[in-house]
Structure 1
């Protein structure tokens, strides 16, 4: 009879404690890494464009370098963690994320900016993979959806504040104070690392990154999320450049609405996934993301820019929650590090490809048509999303059939 109890009944029967001291320490590192990253994410492209010889291609280059290094670091992180442990890797990541930002205060050369982005990308990758694996071990399986949604909120709030705040500070105080703030936030949060647990790896055979990517169970959500992340890279990099000069208020509002909507929708999607499953959320998330980018194409209409950014944020938050919840539910604990690496590779590779590719296309077509083309490109991910939904439904049907056979045998 226990097997027939639904998710909501299990939660009602036993809800293990979610908020623990180690999880609170993890919140500190999440906020520190995320705030440091997002404070400079939209600032550095504009900084590079305003440097001697700058242009839209240079803006895309620095974001592309940041994302490329992040992806490379995420691929290396599981190997490094197996040798030095997740806590050490997390602390090293915070150091590499924070300290190099200070170099931007002494040099405006493109070589320096790109180098800083490369080093910070590695550091951010280490915080994502090492921190993600630690997070998964700190959340009770019975509250996985809620716990992952809460972590998403903790990571989303700094982006909600950091993206517009960074642009505002750079405009009113100059680039130096923003760089100092980004550096100090990351460095100070290192103090919370010793408060994290010492169990750095789960027992059992590890799941390789490439083996996980080749499997449909992980590969399909990874592909869908990567495509939605393309839109995120474009919005944070090119929205300040695509909107007419003088409309800084519109840019700030749009950069606020996008992460705000993503944070809220990720929370609600995570809770819904606990109750009704996450597979059915990928298609709505993808469609909403593409629709938001299509509306943003009206760059000369301030309301459309803000609304489009918000709609994209809603879809992106749903896609975030659906894909990460699905992927963690499909592996044993020994595969958490691989899931963290794959999901973050999809995030950062998508952002990097979006930034570099969009910069090239926009130079040929202009910003509005580049946004339109991006929206239609994103819809191609409906194919793996539908495949995954079909596979999930078949799996559930087989599970119900097996359950019915077992219950019949008990009678």
Structure 2
């Protein structure tokens, strides 16, 4: 797999770009709070970032068809990094939200393009491992850069962290430039679909909605965890809480990284992309509820690390399972649409969670927000269970052999 031309460079570019994102994910809300801003504004920086991300993701498949993967990925990495310098102007509401939105545009295009590019680049027999390796690179970037940004701001200043984020974004752009010049083959395959003898395709949303929502239920809580876990830990340990909060986020990223790759290997061996989904959802519920109880009871930071690790492992499995389910349910030439849907629901959930669940934070009492977040995850189990039952009767196209035989049996 690693010998495939462009695969290694793609992973390096992804790590650099996600490093630029991870540096500022917990740092920017903290910078707003340190400057005297409200928790609502702190959460809105993530919310606006994700809103711009989702808005861009809707149009990214079109951009990929028009310009190809490499130019779109290079431009998006630049947009993810360069606007970080704008945060050096200050933390007034318009400044914090404007440059968060600009960075969100780059992040939106990048997240769709990189997953679709990997699916186009590798043979089908390596798809599970390839998406798992992508998850490892993203998780490693989060594990390293989430605490690094907080450490840089603690040792030097927020401005130094903003400069470092810009540098990594530009480096990711440079790594994207020599990638193979691939474009989605949608035009050819769409013509085949419209042929007179081609069977009618089932609506895409009937096939991918439940996997998409399974991602959203966990990413909503991840939006809360990534934005406010450092602040929650700081309320327990005011002295070194910011750095310890970064370590907690690193634990979440590390467990997600490992579990996402393991889920990919299991899917390749079993040939079934969603066998671990429901166990992972139950694990995610338990991990976040553990955090809620720990914050309410005032447990030590290291006890909370157990809940963070369980949630991270569950989140990693769900990410890979949902993406592979979408790739399996849609034709191969629609991988960019599958990637777009996955990323839209992932990032919309992250933004929604950082804003909606933040409303439940009362002063320095973060436990209610985490408790509700765990219940959101639990609600996904019912959807996934029904989808697993209905999956035995699901078809991806009408008027194929399976549906014709079913009609004959009714005669």
User: 3-state DSSP class of the match of 2:100?
Assistant: helix
Q: 1:260 aligns with which of 235, 239, 254?
A: 254
The answer for the alignment partner of 1:205 in structure 2 is: 190
**Higher mean C-alpha displacement, 152-161 vs 104-113:** 104-113
The answer for the alignment partner of 2:349 in structure 1 is: 350
User: 3-state DSSP class of the match of 1:198?
Assistant: coil
CA distance in 2, matches of 1:227, 1:104: 30
Q: 2:23 aligns with which of 18, 30, 39?
A: 39
1:68-107 residue pairs with structure 2 within 5 A? 68-107=51-90
User: 3-state DSSP class of the match of 1:279?
Assistant: coil
CA distance in 1, matches of 2:205, 2:109: 24
CA distance in 1, matches of 2:228, 2:114: 29
CA distance in 1, matches of 2:277, 2:213: 11
The answer for the alignment partner of 1:133 in structure 2 is: 116
Pair 38,370 (structure 1): closer, same or farther in 2 beyond 3 Å: same
Pair 24,18 (structure 1): closer, same or farther in 2 beyond 3 Å: closer
The answer for the alignment partner of 2:197 in structure 1 is: none
Pair 308,115 (structure 1): closer, same or farther in 2 beyond 3 Å: same
**Higher mean C-alpha displacement, 255-264 vs 356-365:** 356-365
1:129-278 residue pairs with structure 2 within 5 A? 129-202=112-185, 203-205=188-190, 215-243=205-233, 244=235, 245-248=238-241, 249-276=243-270, 277-278=272-273
CA deviation vs aligned residue, 1:151-191 (integer Å, no higher than 9, x gap):
11111110011111111111111111111111011102222
The answer for the alignment partner of 2:287 in structure 1 is: 292
CA distance in 2, matches of 1:78, 1:321: 20
TM-score w.r.t. length of structure 2: 0.87
CA distance in 2, matches of 1:176, 1:75: 32
**Higher mean C-alpha displacement, 268-277 vs 343-352:** 268-277
Contact 2:7 2:118 in 1 (8 A): yes
Pair 259,213 (structure 1): closer, same or farther in 2 beyond 3 Å: farther
CA distance in 1, matches of 2:341, 2:203: 7
CA distance in 2, matches of 1:268, 1:148: 11
Q: Mind listing any 5+ residue stretches in structure 2 that lack a counterpart?
A: 194-200, 396-400, 406-411
User: 3-state DSSP class of the match of 2:239?
Assistant: coil
User: 3-state DSSP class of the match of 1:215?
Assistant: helix
Contact 1:51 1:110 in 2 (8 A): no
1:339 Cα deviation after fit: 0.8
User: 3-state DSSP class of the match of 1:280?
Assistant: coil
CA distance in 2, matches of 1:143, 1:325: 12
Point out 4+ residue stretches in structure 1 off by more than 4 angstroms. Answer: 211-214, 393-396
**Higher mean C-alpha displacement, 336-345 vs 168-177:** 168-177
Contact 2:67 2:183 in 1 (8 A): no
The answer for the alignment partner of 2:398 in structure 1 is: none
**Higher mean C-alpha displacement, 193-202 vs 305-314:** 193-202
Q: Is the aligned partner of 1:308 residue 2:307?
A: yes
CA distance in 2, matches of 1:355, 1:264: 25
Contact 1:232 1:351 in 2 (8 A): yes
CA distance in 1, matches of 2:2, 2:364: 50
TM-score w.r.t. length of structure 1: 0.87
Contact 1:61 1:356 in 2 (8 A): yes
Pair 305,212 (structure 1): closer, same or farther in 2 beyond 3 Å: farther
1:129 Cα deviation after fit: 1.4
Contact 1:234 1:354 in 2 (8 A): yes
CA distance in 1, matches of 2:202, 2:212: 10
CA distance in 1, matches of 2:246, 2:335: 36
Q: Mind listing any 5+ residue stretches in structure 1 that lack a counterpart?
A: 1-16, 406-411
CA distance in 2, matches of 1:265, 1:313: 8
Indicate the RMSD between aligned Cα atoms, in angstroms.
2.3
1:394 Cα deviation after fit: 4.9
Equivalences, count: 379
1:142 Cα deviation after fit: 1.0
Pair 193,303 (structure 1): closer, same or farther in 2 beyond 3 Å: closer
